[in-house]
Structure 1
C-alpha cells in the first residue's frame, strides 16, 4: 500500500497505463496530507514530482464530487509556467474527463468567453489575472465553488510585494468561495514557517513537508585565464580577452554537455548571445524581454536538441519543461544561495541524478562571492526570506480591489480581511484609515459612515495597476522581414538611442532600426555590430550573510599575502576551503 492506493480508481488506472507504479518520496509524504484536507507547504528538489504531488489529489477531489464551476485554481508566477502546466494537465484532463484551462494576459477573447460560459474545473492562472477574474460578475460567480488553491514556486513571490498582494488576494477569494484548502510548492525555501504563513494567513493551521530527497550536486567555481587563442578570438569578437576566455569555456562545455547558461541580467544574455551567434555556435537566448514566440521557439529548439546551450535569466529558473539538462553554467556570481540552488537544480532533473553546475567568476571579487555562495549552497545554508510587512502601496491597491469585489463594503469588514493576511497581521485601524484617506484624496474611493464605496475612477486605476511588479513603458520590436515580434525595449533606452539607422542587439541578433512609431520600433536583421540595450530592474541584492563571508575571504587572503605567502599559496588555501579551480 502506497500513497497512490488512496487515489481515485480512474487515476490509478491512468498511472498504471503510464507505467508509474511507485510514488516519489515527496508524493508519498504529501498526497495523504492533501487528500486529508490539510493546508500544505511542500518543499522538494526540482525533478522529484512535487507538481504531481499536488495535482493528483486535485484530480481525485474533482472526480470524487459533483459540483458545478471551478473546483481548483493553480497559480504560478509566470505565463510561461501557465502554458507548461496546461500541457502537462491537459493530457490528464482528457483521460479523466476533467476540464482544464489556462487564463492570463495572452488568452484570446474567444477562450475567455468560453471559460466564462463554461468554467473549467481546474483553472491555471497568475496572481495578476486572478485579480481581474475576481472583479467580473460572472467570473466571480464561477469561482464561488473553489475548494483548493495551489501556489506553485511560491518562493518566487514571497519576498516581493507580489507575495503580500497574493496573501490579500487569497483572502478576497475566500470571501467569495468560503474557506478552501491551500497548497504551496517550492524547491528552495529559507524560511518555511514564514512562507507557510504567507500562504495560509493568520488563523489557519498548516503542515510543512520537507521531502528528504538526497540530490547529489557537484558545484565548482572557475575563472578561465586567457590563452593565446583567446586573444585572437577577442580581436575577432571585438571584446576583452577575459570575456573571450569565458566564451571559450562555455563553448567547450556545451560541445560535450547540454547546458543552461544562467546570467543575472538581460544585458549579459545579449552580450554573450551575440558573440556566440558570431561564432556560429548552436546557443540560443531566452529572457523576459523577448516575445512569447521567440521564447517558445528557443525552448523547443533546446528541448529538441537543435541548441546545445541556452543563455537565460530567471525566466528559465523555474520549472518550465525544456527536457534534459546535463549541466548548468552560472555566468558571474548568482548573488544568492537560493538562486544558485534553484538554477543548478535544473540539471540532472530526476531522482538519482547529479545536479552539476559551474560558476564562471568574472573578476577577483566575483571569485570570493561565488566561493562563499557555493560553500553555503553545499551546506544548505539558505538565506532567510523576508516578506514585506504592511506595504502601504499594496494596501491601497487592494482597498480598491475590495471596492471592485463588493461595490460597497464596511470599513470594519475590509479591515478584518486585511488582518487575516499574514503581511497585514499587525495593521492597525488607524493605519488603514490613513491609507484610505489618501486613496479617497485621489478619488479612487468614497467613505461615508465607515462604508467604503466604489468611484468611477476606481476600475480604470485597478486595471492599470494589477501588478506590483514595477512597470516601465515598453516598445514592441517588430521584424518587418520576418513579419513577427522579436521582443521589447524599455523607454529609457529608446529615448536615448532609437533612431532610423541605429543598430542594436536582441535575441543575440543584430537589428537595424527602420522606423520608430509611437509604441513600436520596426527593424530589419543585419550582419554588423550593434548596441547592447539596457533594461530596468535588473540588480540582485547580495544577502548580508554572504557579504560578511566575502569580507572574511578577502581578509584571509590579505593576511596570507602579508605573512609572506605567494599568490599561488594563497590561492591553494582558498581551494582547501572552497570548491574553486
Structure 2
C-alpha cells in the first residue's frame, strides 16, 4: 500500500499504533489516506472505491481517531446499510475496528430480539449498525428512549449509498438524518460509501441537507487493471446451465439472474447435472439463504445462483468468477456484480455474460459499450417526494405524541428530498390528511386520526418501503423448517399441471395448504414447476437504450464477443438495418402494427405514447426502445409523422403534461401514502415515478432535428 504524506500522522497515536500492530498494515491505501484528510477536516463526503477497496476502514479509522481524541461517549456513530444481511456481514469487522481502541459496536435491526436491544439501551455501544426502518421504529417506540440514546451522535456512515439515492428509501433516509441531527443538537457528519456512483457531487449535496459542513468527494481513481469480459449467446437456460457446469471447473462461481423464478430454474437444472449449487433470493427463508452463503463461502468447486441482493457488499469469500445470465438493467449493477471478483492480490475482476435471447444479448452488448466509455448512471435522487413528506408528517405526529402544527416542518426543513415541494403543496397535503381523518388537529397539535390509525398504525407504519403493494404470500414449511415463501396466486392457479414445485433448488410435493394460517406444508417430491413471484416490468434508462442503438448501427465487434455472440448480433444488425437509414424510423410491421424506434427509454416513451394515444384515440403502447401503434393509430404513416411533428413543435413538455395523462379511475399504486395526497399531487407523483419528461423532450428534439435535415436534403 502507498500512503499520502502526513495523512496517517493526523490520526491519534492509538489508532496509528493499531494500524501497524492490530491490523498489521504497513501503510494505507490511497482511498484511506484521502478519507482521513476529508473526514478529519469535518467534511460531509462520498467515498468512492471498488468493492473490497477498503472503504469501510477509510470511513471508520478517522472517525475512531476523533472518537479517541475528543472522547466521544455513548452512541456517537451510526453505520446505516440498506439490508440486514449487510449489517450481519459487517458485524465482526465493525467490532474489530472499534475494539482496536477499546470501544464497542452494536447491531439493531428487525431480527435483533428484545433482550439484546435492552442490553444496548442499558449499556450503549459507541457505534451502532442499523437500517433506516429500524431507526424510524426506534424514534417512534415508547419503549426506547431515542432522545437519550442518540443525544451524543456525531457521525453517520451510509454504506452502498447508491442503493438508497434513487428511491423512496433514500428520501426517507435523508429525512431521518435531519431528525436525528436535531435530537443530537449537532451538525452530524454524513459519509456515504459506494463503488458505483455516476453523480457523486449530487449525492453529497443530497446527503448534506441542512448541514453547514464542507462537502468533499473522495475518489482515488482506478489503478486496477482492466477486467476480463466475455459475452456469449447460448439461446436457452438449459444451454446456460450446461456451460456453467463446464466453465471454470474447480472454481467458485457466482451467477446473477434477474428473477427469483429463473434462479430456481437454473439452480434446479445445475443440481440435476451434479453441480454443487446454492441459491439466494429474497423469497427463501433467512436460514436457507444464510446456510447457502456459508456453504458457498467454504466451498472450492461450487456455484451460487442469486438475484441482485448479492450485488451489495455482502461477503461470500474470495470469488473466482462472476457469470451474468442475460444482462442487468444498469451499468451500476454490472459494476457492483463484477466487483465481487478480482479481490485477491494479482487477481483480475471478470464477468461472463450468457445471453438466452436476442434482446438480452443486445442489452449485454450495450452494457459493455457504456462501461468501455466510462459511463455510470447518475443516481438522480428526487427533490420532490410529497408522499415521503406525508410519511414524515405522520411519523413526527407519532414521535412527538402530537407534533406542533406550526413547527413540525422545522424537523425536516433542510431535507433535500423536499426542496422542490412548495409551501402551498406542503400545506395542501396536511389539509388533505386532516380533512380525511388521517391526521387530526387539536390544540395546535397534529396527531394520528382514526383513518390514519387504520391505515398506518402499529406495524402497518413500518412496512411502507415497497414501491408497490406486495401480494399475499404463503410460508412454505417442511415440518418445522421454513423453506421460503411463494405467492398465493401461484398456488391458486388452476392451470398448474402438478401439485409439485421447486423451491430452494429442490422439488417439493404439496402436503396441505392452510390458507387462514398462511402456510403451505410440503414433503420432498420428484419434479415440479417453478413458482411465479410478483414483479414489475423492467424500464430501461435512455442511456442504455441509446447504447443499444449504437450497437445495432455499428459495424465493429467488441473483443469480449464470442463467435456466437458476434454472429447473433450481426443478424440483429441486418434485421434492424432500417435504424441506420433514419434517426428515429417508423417501421410498418406485417401484423398491421407500426413501431416508432425512439431508443428513448421506457419512462420517456411512456409520456410520448400517452400523448399520441390521446391524439389518435386508439391504442399506443410504450416499450423501452420503441412505441407500438395498433388498430386505428397504425392506419397511416403520414398521419403518424404529422402527429409526432405536432408534438415536436410544441413548447417543451412539463410534469403538468405528464400528470394529465394519469387516469383518475385507474391510477397506479406507487406508494402506500397516496391516500395522504390531494388528487393533483397524487397524479404528479404517479407521473414522476413512471415517466420522464426530460427524456421525452430529448426524443422530440432529435425527431425535429432529423426532420429538418431530411427537409434540407430534399427527402
Residue 519 and residue 177 in structure 1: after superposition, are their counterparts in 2 closer, same or farther (change >3 A)? Answer: farther
Q: How far does residue 457 in structure 1 lie from its aligned partner after superposition?
A: 6.8
Query: Rg larger in 1 or in 2?
Result: 2
Specify the alignment match of 2:190 in structure 1: 182
Q: Give the structure 2 partner of residue 237 of structure 1.
A: none
Q: Runs of 5+ in structure 2 lacking a partner? A: 556-565, 574-715
Q: Is 1:103 paired with 2:108?
A: yes
Equivalent-residue separation in structure 1 for 2:26 and 2:567 (angstroms): 54
What are the Cα deviations for residues 21-57 of structure 1, in whole angstroms up to 9, with x where unaligned? 2111110111221122211111111121011111222
SS of 2:413 mapped into structure 1: helix
Provide, for residues 91-145 of structure 1, a one-character-per-residue CA deviation record: whole Å limited to 9, x for no partner: 3334432121111110011101111222211100101001011123513320111
8 Å contact from structure 2 (residues 498, 529) kept in 1: no
Counterpart selection for 1:510 from 498, 507, 521: 507
Choose from 162, 166, 172 the match for 1:155.
162
Deviation at 1:458, TM superposition (A): 5.6
CA-atom RMSD in angstroms? 2.7
- Number of residue equivalences: 548
Q: CA deviation at 1:158?
A: 0.7
Kept in 2: contact 1:361–1:367 (CA 8 A): yes
Of the two structures, which has the highest relative contact order with CA contacts closer than 8 Å and spacing of 6 or more? 1
Aligned partner of 1:16 among 20, 38, 41: 20
Taking the TM superposition and a 5 Å limit, the aligned residue runs for 1:11-410 are 11-17=15-21, 18-136=23-141, 137-178=144-185, 179-202=187-210, 204=212, 205-215=214-224, 216-224=226-234, 242-305=236-299, 308-350=302-344, 353-410=347-404
Equivalent in the alignment of 1:234:
none
Structure 1 segments unaligned to the other structure (5+ residues)? 226-241, 558-566, 575-581
Question: What's 2:527 paired with?
Answer: 529
TM-score (norm 1): 0.88
Partner of 2:474: 475
TM-score for the superposition, normalised by structure 2: 0.72
Q: What SS class does the counterpart of residue 465 from structure 1 fall into?
A: helix
Q: CA deviation at 1:255?
A: 1.6
Determine the C-alpha separation between the residues in 1 that align with 2:308 and 2:398. 33
Tell me if structure 1 keeps the 8 A contact 2:370–2:547: no
Report the Cα distance in structure 1 between the residues aligned to 2:72 and 2:57, rounded to whole angstroms.
23
| Distance across 2 between alignment mates of 1:570 and 1:265 | 24
- Correspondence for 1:571: 570
Q: Go from structure 1 to structure 2 and tell me whether the alpha carbon gap of 1:380 and 1:465 turns closer, same or farther (over 3 Å shift).
A: farther
8 Å CA contact retained: 1:47, 1:350: no
In 2, the alpha carbon distance for the partners of 1:519 and 1:169 equals 35
Q: Distance in 2 between matches of 1:23 and 1:383?
A: 30
Deviation at 1:551, TM superposition (A): 2.9
| Alignment check: 8 A CA contact 1:163 1:198 kept | no
8 Å contact from structure 1 (residues 397, 462) kept in 2: no
Deviations, residues 512-564 of structure 1 (Å, cap 9, x unaligned):
2222223443434424221211222354321112112213433457xxxxxxx
The one of 487, 491, 504 equivalent to 1:490 is 487
8 Å CA contact 1:411, 1:450 repeated in 2: yes
In 1, are the aligned partners of 2:48 and 2:220 still within 8 Å (CA)? yes
Label 1:298 to 1:485 Cα distance change in 2 as closer, same or farther (>3 A).
same
Alpha-carbon contact 2:508-2:527 (below 8 Å) kept: no
Secondary structure of the residue that 1:58 maps to in structure 2? helix
**Structure 1 342/496 Cα, relative in aligned 2: closer, same or farther at 3 Å?**
same
SS at match of 1:513: strand
**For residue 414 of structure 1, what is the aligned residue in structure 2?**
408
Task: Kindly indicate whether the alpha-carbon contact (under 8 Å) linking 2:385 and 2:421 is maintained by their aligned counterparts in 1.
Answer: no
